[in-house]
Structures are given as structure tokens and as C-alpha cells.
A and B are shown apart, each in its own frame.
Chain A
């Protein structure tokens, strides 16, 4: 079969099993758009800004586990995509981003809409390719998918000069079944001796903690994690990126750890004697002051990326490998050992944990006449039966969503953790909904974040993706305001948004349903109404208490045991 470069691009996507490609046309990709027009296998989703394309593909990828695919033009198309590429990179999300490039003959001449896409994206991709020859096109696309989805996943950019996709030049096409890259062999199996050593250490633990992250979700190892955690009977805490891979409603779960983690999780970290870290990267939002991190613990760390191990915190037993493979082997070794959860007495440890838990560190004023954002998330959880896919933007609302929506399943909580990209939530929700047309999809956002990609409301209408935008409108860049309150004597420098649009009319102008909610008692009916309108996108503009803060909080330079608690929650007795 002879195909042109443009046809090869589309045909490769089909052969790779791609359902959706998120994109925006322009000069250098017009040949590819013409080829897309002439087929029905791969569906193109037209966004309204290339940042939206990358976030939508990212939301699709996070929620389905399949790679997200993006197509943008050269120059401004590529640079607009960079924020989304960097977002995916920081959270290790598999994307394949196809960017148009000027024809080979004029590369380097400052041609119209030329930019050095390879150079610009290099620091925020797992890898990138400039296709230099038509004969290498199919193989390069295959490699891109392979690299994006294996090992520690990440975005891969394929930059395609326009003349490569010339419809008049055809070559025989065959999609490679496999690829071999001699310089790339991610390690899957963990070192057996290391696993044995880890099991020995776990057996001797008196105050153990399990700390897991996004790697468990990326590695589809939720079941293996649940089996191991239940078998061990140890307490477990998770990062922002790990939520859902262990059921949040389970008693062994202590909630999120880190800067806005729970008292019980952070105190557990501070006092543990053995820490089992799984697919987590000891981020600074998690560790707090490094010098005070887990001062008494021996640390086991399972991660597919050797560079994640001992990067910020030195560990005692490193295990490089894929989380699922390693956890299964660990389980086998454990079962063959004389370990019995019941014989290992950690009841004193659990008693301490229950004491910490009793402080109810996430407590808030339930009788306030103002709408409390925490309560909105609880009601969302109730109305959706805990089964929704929830995306978020960045700010206080993101933290409340993480703290109060109890995710019991992986890939339901979709947010930008590493880069913290405002504008992520809405396009991500569109991608999630396309991947899960029957599911409830909510985007929890703030009045500042939503305006960073609000144009995607048009995309939501075009593809009838019925998502529910829950705007926790506190009239502030709340997270910024909170830091200014705590660290800058309440000098609210530029964190107040004076000229907010009328979000209800804005939603309506985009063809959606808009509802404003101003009273606590109206939240639930509004949520119910929104989800009843199954196929409609509904924008709930909920006016929440502008003074509310996210607690607990570990401020800069503090350790896990030095949390700032909500006013009225005192842990003095405990700390004394």
C-alpha cells in the first residue's frame, strides 16, 4: 500500500488504536488535516486553544490509561501547546504530540511560523523527534508511542516538516509491529534480593507507614497495592497524585500527606520507623523541611525511574522496577515468610494514629451562614455516590477537592500536581468525558483558574460533552490570598479579581446552562439539577466564603510535625 506522509500519520494513529486526536489546524499541518477529513477511524476534537488540546488529551490519558494524542501547527501552535506538554511531563502522563514544522528546505531561515520546537520542548518532554525523512515517519511515530507509554511515562513530541506530509509523494506503508531502541530498556522486574531485604524490614517494623504516589496509578497497580496493604495491616497515606489507588473510605487510609495533608498522615510520617514508599517522588510539597523528614525511619522505595530514588531523600532499600511487578513479587515473598499481620503487634501504633485522627484536622464550621467550599465538595461526593470523575484547576479548591472527595478508585481524580497549571481543569474534563461518555464528570475550579481556558466551553458544546463545572467562587485567587494572609500580614497584592464576569450569562452565551448558588441550602439542589441534566454542560457559580483557608498547612521550612491547624483545632496537648 502506497501512502503519502499525511496519510501515513493518520494511518499510524489508526493502527495504534487511537480513538481521539485533540488539535487545531494551521498551515504546516494542512496536509494532515486533509487526510483526517477523508477517513472516519480517528476522530478529531477541535479545541479553541492549543493549550486546551494538550490538557484535554492529558485528561483523556489520565482517566483511561491510554496515551493522549495532540496535533498542532508550527510556531504559535507549538508554543501554545508547551504549557500542556510541561504539565503532562511533570506528572508523567503519556502524550504523543504531533507538531507541524516548516518544510525542511527552509528550516533555520526564520521562515513564516517557524520555531525551534525541538529546542523549546526539549526540557519538558520525555523525548522528541524531528522527522527528517519520509521513510522514517511510521517508525518514528511507533517509537513515540512506545517511549511515551513505557517505563516512567511522559509526553513525546514528533515534529513533522510540512514537505514530509506532501500528498503527492507516496511510499509503501507498513506500521512496525514492534520497536527496539537499543538505548532504552526500562526495568520492569525488581531485584529479588532487594525485595527480600525489604520484606525483612517490614517484618520488624513496629511503627510502619506506607506512602504511595502517582506511580501506582500510572502502573495500574491499585489492586496489588490494596492486597499488600490489607495483608500487612499497615496505615497508608498518599500524595495528591496517588489518591484513589487505595480506597479513601477504608480505615487503613489516613488521607493525603504533605503541605495540606492530614494531621494523622503527617504525624505518622514523622514518627514511623519503617517507610514503604511506592511510586512517589519525595516532592518538596510532600516532605516539608528535608532535614526533619521521617527522622527515625528506614526507607524502602519502589520506583521505575532510578533517578527518582535517593534524589532528595536518601533511601535504605531502593527497588527499581515496575510497581505492579514488584508488589506482586513482594506479596509472594511475604506469604512465603512467617509474617502474619496478627503476630506483628502494631496496636500501640494504631492507637497513636487513632488519637491523631480524633483531632478531626479537616473540621470546618458547619453552621456558617456562608457557603463553605469543603461542604460543597462533600455534597458533590454524596450526590455522585463517590463515583464521579473529578478534574480540578489549581488553588484552594484543588486542595479541598483532594481532602473532601473520597476517591475509592484510581484514575478518577485528575489534576495538575507537579506544574500546578491553572486552566487545566476544564479541557481535562472534556478529555475525561470523551473517554467515559456515560460517567459523571465534574470540574472543580475557581473563578481565577477557569478564566485561563474558558474558551473550551465552546468545545464542550460542539462535542456535547456534558460536564459539570463547579466554580468555587471566592472572589480571590484564594491560594495566593491565603499565603499573603499568613506570610505577608494580609497585604493582598493583586490577588483580588475586581471585574469578574457574570459566569451564568457567560455559560449561557456559550450555549450551556448556568446556575448561581448563593445560599448553603441551595447547593445540593443545584448539584442534583446539574447531574440530572445528563448531557448538558452545567456551570455552577457557587459563591463561597471568601475568607476560608486550607488547613492543615505545613508552612515553608517546617517539618511534618509542625502543622498549622485551623483556628479552633488545638493539638497542644498532643504536642506537649
Chain B
């Protein structure tokens, strides 16, 4: 049966070359774009290393501090009562904020108030993006350094090519050790083999390399070197400051605890005392945490609040996918309607000889799926080309798109779905056609 349909599909597509070309063009273009989007989302939102725990992670990296001073306003109303001027005075106390800061977090602030949260299984406080210049053979390379605690390596699951991360002891003793990426190893040492044990000079001091990791692809992590925070002088910051260079990740006990964990962190807004702080008297944490999708969104859309960014990105993504999938689908449905109409007498004959509605439906959906699979392969080619181009031209900074088996599986499912959806409506309509009317169209 299927062999028969396959043969027929092949012949029909071959006979209607123009239709086939137009359809394939639309299908492969749509699917190609879709595949690039998938690859992008998969790289940014998937659970490939080091983001194995992505679905349980909460990021918290910003606070908003304000200094609000009371402001008194006098309002004087005058009325003429019995020829005498009467005054009615009201006093209102308003609030004016005369300084606001939105900043990343202080180390002490995190240590004192955010260790051992109820809904968190683990947490890491780190300082991203400290840049150092290094000189190799008279040419300058920039080392982007992350300073972290040892928990960092438990929450983020890096792929260690060689060696291991620093542990609590090394952290406490402030050992001059680093973990570096294969990319920077190649730039610095000219090789990425036997790196562990070598020394890298950063900030004027020698650091021993104890681990070599694969450069992560994600835009949320654009470091080259990782070192213990304790290497920094006064690494926790001043006592009277809640702001600083830190950011944090928390690991919820379960996926469903993520929002509870976010709420727990934000509720600290009312608990943390402010009297030790010099410059500010109010603190806002609302909407300052994000799950990893929101964190990703915040990276793309310049909103301070991760959740707001998350909502905006969801709308943009849905809109984009609607536009790029729905429109071509509708178009393909339309093409299919006219294509199937031309074959109404074939449908009449088939039904007269005993084809059920289901047989007709199956046949035409099958034909359409074949068409979309062909389009899907072309689209895959297009997508690969596009991804290769994006990667090699470095269009997305800090981000390399990946094409792996998950990508193929997701793409294939989308292709099949696309074929079924765009084939179903026309086929369903024609499967219900009255036999006598179908035969009358007399096109065979």
C-alpha cells in the first residue's frame, strides 16, 4: 500500500514540477529558518553541558537600592469669608527618591543572607568578567576571568578535558590556581594538550592550571579563566555595602521549586536590615531573580527585570514562530487544496472502488509528508549552511550554534508535524467529497 502511495506521490510531484518547486521552496525555507531557531534555542536553553542543571537553576544578580527622603509640601488655600480672608493649610508628606542605583551584588550581602535557603539545594556566588591582559610572544590576549566559589563547579557541569576544579580547601587557602578553556590554552600555550601543571600569568602573578575545560558555547558564559574568589583582596567587600561585583546561581531542590526559590530570594527584600548601609535606605528585590529562560531573555532584551524580559521574549518567540510557520503552512494548505482539487476524479474513482475516507486521508497526508520530508532535507542543508555561516562569521558573539542528534530529532519531528498539519485540512475536505460529484469533474 505505502509503496504504491510512494510511487504515486513521486509521479505526481514529478508531473507537477512548478507546484513541486514552489512548495519545496516554501517548505525548505521555512524549515531551514526553523532549524536555525531550534539550534539557537537548543544551544542557549538546552541542557547540554555545562547546563545539565539548567531547569533547576535560578539566577540572581541585581539589586535596586534607593535613598528616599521625606518631602513636605505645604498647601495654602485662601477663601474670603464675610469679607475676611481665611486660610486653610494642609501639609502633605510625600516621598522623593533622590538617588537610585541598580547594581550587581556584594559578596558579604550574599554570604550573610543567601546561604542555606530553604528551597535551594546549593548556591554559588561568583564575580564574572574581570579582564586581564596577557602577553604571548609580544602579542596581547585578553583573559576574561570568572572568580567563583567551589560550589560553582557543582552547579555548572563543565566538561573537563583534563584535571579538575578547585575544591573547598584550595578555596579557603586561596591557592593560586585556575581552570582554563581549551580555546585560551591554544592561544596562550599554543596547544591544548598536557596543560594541567603549567602556569598562566594573570594580574602579575603566576597561576597554576589545574583544570582544562571545553569552551562553553552559551552566551551566558563567556569566560576564559576561572579562579577562586579568595584570590581577590577584600573579596567579600565592605561591611556597609550591599552592592558589589557578584552574581549568583541557586539550584532548586526540584524543578517545581524554582518559582518558590525565586519568591524566597525576593522576600528577603523585607527581611534584610538596611541600617548598616550608609547611602541607601530602601532595597528592591522584586522581579530581580530569573530562571534560566528569563536569564537568557534578559541577556537578549535590555530589561533589568529578568521576568519581564522572559515574558517579552516569549511573546517575541511565539510571534516569530507563528509568522514563520503559520504563514507558510497556510500557504501550503492553499497550494494543497488546489492540487488536490485537480485530482477529485481520482478520489471519486478510488472511493467508488472501495477506498474509505481514512484511505483517502492517509494517501494525501502521506503524499504531503513525503513532500515535506524532501523539503526538510533541503531545509536541513540550508540550515547547516546558515549555521556554518553564522558561526564562522561570529555573528552571535560568544555563541557557537550546535548541530547534534537532538537537533536532528527535533527538526525531524517538526518536519513530520508540518507535513501532517498542512496536508490534513485539504485531504480531509476531499475525503468527504461526494463520489458522484468527484467523478463528474471528469479531469482524468
A binds B: no
